Structure 1
Amino acid sequence: MEVEHMDAVFTSMGLLFAFCVSDYLPWLRGLDLDGQEKMVKEANATVNRLHDTVIDERWRQWKSGERRELDDFLDVLITLKDAEGKPLLAIEEVKAQSQDITFAAVDNPSNAVEWALAEMANTPEVMAKAMEEMDRVVGRERLVQESDIPHLNYAKACIREAFRLHPVAPFNVPHVALADTTVAGYRVPKGSHIILSRTGLGRNPTIWDEPLCFKPERHINMADGGNVVLTENELRFISFSTGRRGCIASSLGTTMCVMVFGRLLQGFTWSKPPGLSAIDLSESEHDLFMAKPLVLHAKPRLPMHLYFAIDI
């Protein structure tokens, strides 16, 4: 079921930036010449079918009084109240919000974590620094927690470097210029459609030294106390988008990225599979994901009882 769910989510997400002729020739809408509308509808139907079973049961538990503790986002959505103390969301609204959260939160964190681990597997000294920080800050007698995130600056630098070097998409979502302006000497008339190249920003050799090299240290500025954040306000690269219409959940995205990455780093010693000299860092022909899904050898490094304590 999990595989079916993720396949459907990534199918739908993959079509988000795909070329669609009816986007440029609106009178062709309804013909679905390239079949994308059919594929999106089928993928979304699969996601909804799998979500609805869980949401319907959770809704029933709260309404019957069986459930009283908040364990996840779904519980929060179901129990939200308006100013009069009445349920804020109907069940259909909960389902819609759950789908929005799923599509908005899955690709960017997973892509950054996979690329970070892949790059670190090829640079053992970077992996060693990240593991040393994890042992120093968290140790091996408990699991890494959200409260540890402010102190895991090297781990955050690794994720930030993955965002820079391996963005989840080649371009950002198109915007429109609200007024005539000039950018880097180029005149941009009001009404122009603006698309930023994520790869062009993150791999710009005039901004970044050795832009194609994975160097987390470049993001640690001791003048700022060494504190690292995943957002980038100077537009040197794009992590969670930027500006007034940027990602409204960048703090959630930061938490998701660092917690997933942190649990993987803390829980296992990662190495290349036997007989493999280096991880293939080639990008897919169709997107910026890894051409070959990452496969690493994982050796447990924590007391066994901690693995059973993880609530999945």
Structure 2
Amino acid sequence: MSFTMFFLMSAFLLSCMFIFLSINGKISSQSNKPPLPPSPFSWPIVGNLPEVYTNKPVFKWVEGVMEKLKTNIACIRLGRVHVIVVVSPELAREFLHKHDSIFVSRPITMATEYATRGFLTTGLSPWGEQWKKMRRLVTHELFSPTRLRWLLNKRNEETDNLVYYIFKRCNNPDGSVINLRLPLKHYGPNVTRKTTFSRRFFGEGGENGGPGFEEKQHIQALYTVLKHTFAFCISDYMPWLRGLDIDGHEKNVRSSMNIFDKYHDPIIEDRIKQWEDGKRKEVEDLLDIMITLKDESGKPLLSIDEIKAQISEFFFGVDGPAAGAEWALAEMINQPEILQKAIEEIDRVVGKDRWIQESDVHQLNYLKACAREAFRLHPHVPFNLPHLSLEDIEVGGYFIPKGSHVLLSRTGLGRNPETWEEPLKYNPERHLGGNVSKVDLSEPNLRFISFSTGKRSCTGQTLGTLLTIMALGRLIQGFTWSVPPNEEKIDLSTSEELTLAKPLHAHARPRLDEAMYPVAPP
């Protein structure tokens, strides 16, 4: 008997056993409370879990449900959990602006429990004293403007390494076709590794500054964890099924976090010992800061597990800049007039005698508009991290029960035709109209989602902006990009994970004097 059939039969039997609960639910729904948001048909007890299990990717099924219901907010019942999906900016602001304090927490899930060593971090942990402690630490001690300036040289080294990697692959006078996904996916983790561990590689590295086996294995584990974080795991909604690991999520996440531990733990433990033995006395990176922070009594502020967990979470935020830069460049190559405007802006602001620096980013409004439009049209994940309702509340005229999971649809918000004219067209100009004097990648009005907003906004949004613009800007400044020979356009087909279905392959030729390009990294 297939598992699907077994699952459906079990659901039917449970429905019969607990029919009384269903009747009570119908009676209570006729009270004076506002109605729940529009919902699809759901089974007693299990709700829409059978549909979630059999329809992949789930976000496509959710989009279909909302289109059928013709609604900007929907309630998908998974077990006893109400999952509220929102595609309206007005409703999104009501949740995260007006009622931010009610939706400040995160659901407890299998994947986030493993990824945070039992909820010791800031981004994925539920609301509480531990979250408050780590939020203060990350905001004021690790990602403050002062710390970002202090780590500038380390970021610059990895940005130079990105340019060097591409340059070495332009190995003939006419240029070469470059697979850009590999260096872009590794750029963010490379910066994180350098600023956290002061290391370029975990091992020996690869050819011409590229990643080695260790880095590739680490990246694969990273993206596996990200794929399974809040991925509608059945046992998150029916906890008594967790031991069965029905969809294999637990095995995948556990295995991937073991790879993180294999590479991170020896570095962290050795560094702690160096400080304890007095062999290390100078603070060099974020790991040193975390080890040397003290509480009011002079004891270490962070436990070893807190350090390990938070460092792992640093790596979880690097997928957005990589995807944004890849999508933006793909769209710009297909529309050469847009690419040319970005080139002209860079040449005007920076020139051809030096490389773009982070201090230039605030002046590169057109380039930021290109990246912002990529975030709007091509989000790297379908939903934001879910918010947990801490109490019963009415939002937009609908009843939102305590314990509901609220998901803002990145695709739904960014491509909402009520908000955006020609929403499926890549058009950076839409972010430059009116009296716009400064373009930011953030979107506080939630017309699309880049770094979210409110108490749960991304603590690394300044760093995320710098990584995105520096990667995209250096690639455009340093190389002339075009469609590969014998092809008419870059294929912009989208995969089920919302990435380009095929990694971006583009023809590159150096456009600056050869002496400008970085030499081999140390």
Q: TM (normalized to structure 2)? A: 0.54
Of 244, 248, 253, the match for 1:35: 248
How many angstroms does 1:179 deviate by? 4.9
C-alpha contact 2:381 2:410 (8 A) present in aligned 1:
yes
Structure 1 equivalent of residue 410 of structure 2: 198
How many angstroms does 1:8 deviate by? 1.0
Structure 1 equivalent of residue 335 of structure 2: 123
C-alpha contact 2:318 2:464 (8 A) present in aligned 1:
no
Structure 2 equivalent of residue 112 of structure 1: 324
- The residue type paired with residue 101 of structure 1 is F
Structure 2 equivalent of residue 237 of structure 1: 448
**Kindly tell me: are residues 199 and 107 of structure 1, through their superposed partners in 2, closer, same or farther at Cα, counting changes over 3 Å?**
same
- The alignment of Structure 1 onto Structure 2 pairs a total of residues equal to 306
User: What CA deviation, in whole Å up to 9, does each residue of 1:109-135 have, x standing for no partner?
Assistant: 111111111111111111111111111
Structure 2 equivalent of residue 9 of structure 1: 222
SS in 2 for 1:195: strand
* Uncovered stretches (5+) of structure 1, i.e. residues with no partner: none
Alpha-carbon distance in structure 2 between the residues aligned to 1:36 and 1:56: 29
Alpha-carbon distance in structure 2 between the residues aligned to 1:69 and 1:136: 39
Structure 1 equivalent of residue 369 of structure 2: 157
**Aligned-CA RMSD value:** 2.5
How many angstroms does 1:244 deviate by? 2.4
Larger Rg computed on CA atoms: 2
Alpha-carbon distance in structure 1 between the residues aligned to 2:409 and 2:241: 28
Alpha-carbon distance in structure 1 between the residues aligned to 2:352 and 2:278: 41
- The residue type paired with residue 412 of structure 2 is G
Of 266, 269, 279, the match for 2:477: 266
**Kindly tell me: are residues 209 and 5 of structure 1, through their superposed partners in 2, closer, same or farther at Cα, counting changes over 3 Å?**
same
Of 477, 484, 488, the match for 1:277: 488
C-alpha contact 2:283 2:289 (8 A) present in aligned 1:
no
- The residue type paired with residue 260 of structure 2 is V
Alpha-carbon distance in structure 2 between the residues aligned to 1:92 and 1:28: 28
Alpha-carbon distance in structure 2 between the residues aligned to 1:292 and 1:229: 29
Structure 2 equivalent of residue 293 of structure 1: 503
**Kindly tell me: are residues 78 and 268 of structure 1, through their superposed partners in 2, closer, same or farther at Cα, counting changes over 3 Å?**
farther
- The residue type paired with residue 302 of structure 1 is L
Alpha-carbon distance in structure 2 between the residues aligned to 1:101 and 1:163: 20
Alpha-carbon distance in structure 2 between the residues aligned to 1:267 and 1:275: 24
Structure 1 equivalent of residue 48 of structure 2: none
How many angstroms does 1:68 deviate by? 3.9
**Kindly tell me: are residues 189 and 40 of structure 1, through their superposed partners in 2, closer, same or farther at Cα, counting changes over 3 Å?**
closer
Percent identity between matched residues is 52
User: Is structure 2 residue 168 aligned with structure 1 residue 168?
Assistant: no
Structure 1 equivalent of residue 419 of structure 2: 207
Structure with more contact order per residue of length (Cα contacts < 8 Å, sep ≥ 6): 2
How many angstroms does 1:181 deviate by? 2.8
C-alpha contact 2:327 2:374 (8 A) present in aligned 1:
yes
Alpha-carbon distance in structure 2 between the residues aligned to 1:21 and 1:32: 9
**Kindly tell me: are residues 75 and 126 of structure 1, through their superposed partners in 2, closer, same or farther at Cα, counting changes over 3 Å?**
farther
- The residue type paired with residue 332 of structure 2 is M
Alpha-carbon distance in structure 2 between the residues aligned to 1:7 and 1:117: 23
